[in-house]
Amino acid sequence: MKAVRVKKERAEELRIIAEKIGAKDKRRLIKSFGEFVEIPILDGYEEFFKGYEIVEQREVLLNPRRDFLDILSQIVPKDKQKFLPKSYKVIGDLAIVKLSEEIVEFKEKIGEAILESNPRLRAVWREISKEGMMRKPKLELLAGKGSETIHVENGCYFKLDITKVMFSLGNQYERHRVAMECEDETIVDMFAGIGYFSIPIAKRAEKVYSIEINYDSYRYLLENAKMNNVKLIPILGDSMFVTPEGVADRVVMGHIFCNDFLPIAIKALDRSGIIHYHEAVPTKVLWRPRIRVEKACREMGKKCKILNFRRVKNYAPKVAHVVVDALVY
């Protein structure tokens, strides 16, 4: 069975192309290997991917979603089936699914169908919202039991309770990319959470300051550092007030609503260094994060050079999650 092997930074672009031309094999899941992913394609479409590496998959990941939709097609009325969820997230051995109001009356049946179709899962939860600056998840149990799990990503282990802290699967490449750039550096992670950036970074960096305001996340940050056998300098508190100054070669600002913290990030640098600034921005003003970084540097009496401006993923309709890499000096 064929697949296109591509670096993670090109994976989303290639996945969209494969789906548009009908080449993506929906029976199989995309597989990840370090810096690369394999996008499964149907036989006969190889010519559309000239210039890319085509591999033969001996071990495939079958897509359990097809089975769960088959189950639901026999339970949910035909006029409601168009509202069925197209996918669900898997974190560790737990699934999280979003449901529209039109289909919420079948929520328990949907949860049971997902659980029945995917043997690796222990429970299915419905995502209702994320609340506040700390983006605390609001979830509802649909089937199974348990909310604490261990998720594996890029060779790192993350323990968390999905009802208390969030985990964004769409940032996987970004976490790996930044970690690869931090060899022997001192890093300040201003919004550390359970260690999404801090843990992989700590495997290469000389020193990592990990700041987190949410006590539940902070507790898992400490536990995950031990589990991954890495050393951090954990700081419990609001990064607006507890961020160390003049210490960092690099500052990670992984929260998507943190523009007010840019002056604090600049102060954290040891005279000069790199800032990775994330923002959720309407696509009609996609350039706004870059302008904000440049303005903050000017106001702090600093110069900056934009090294990279990257769209991480779609955050919401007409809203993108982007990251700006800026050299500040």
Phi and psi at residue 199, in whole multiples of 5°?
-65, -55
Residue with the bigger pLDDT between 91 and 129: it is 91
Q: Stretch 282-293: mean pLDDT, rounded?
A: 96
Structure tokens at 291: 């302008």
Q: Is the pLDDT of residue 66 over 80?
A: no
Domain 2-56 fold is: Alpha-Beta Plaits (3.30.70)
The model's pLDDT over 93-134, given as tens digits with 9 standing for 90+, comes to 999 999 999 999 999 999 999 998 888 899 999 999 876 556
Q: Where in the sequence of the chain do the CATH 3.30.300.110 domains occur?
A: 64-146
Confidence bin at 172 (pLDDT 50/70/90)? confident
Which residues of the chain does CATH 3.30.70.2580 include?
Answer: 2-56
What Å distances lie between residue 146 and 36, 121, 141, 178, 187, CA to CA?
32, 10, 9, 32, 34
Within the chain, all domains assigned CATH 3.40.50.150 are found at 168-328
Contact by Cβ (8 Å): 143, 105: no
- The domain 168-328 is placed in CATH, from the list 3.40.640.10, 3.90.700.10, 3.40.50.970, 3.40.50.150, at 3.40.50.150
- The CATH T-level fold of domain 64-146 is GMP Synthetase; Chain A, domain 3 (3.30.300)
Alpha helices in the chain (DSSP H): 8-20, 64-73, 107-117, 172-180, 198-202, 215-227, 239-242, 262-268, 288-299
Q: Identify whether the C-beta of residue 125 lies closer than 8 Å to the C-beta of residue 96.
A: yes
Separation CA 24–CA 228 (nearest Å): 35
Q: Give the model's confidence band at 8: pLDDT under 50 very low, under 70 low, under 90 confident, else very high.
A: confident
Average pLDDT over residues 17-46: 85
Q: Token pair of 42, please?
A: 């149907």
Q: Are 14 and 4 in contact (CB under 8 A)?
A: yes
Token pair recorded at residue 76: 């949910």
What pLDDT is recorded for position 129? 80
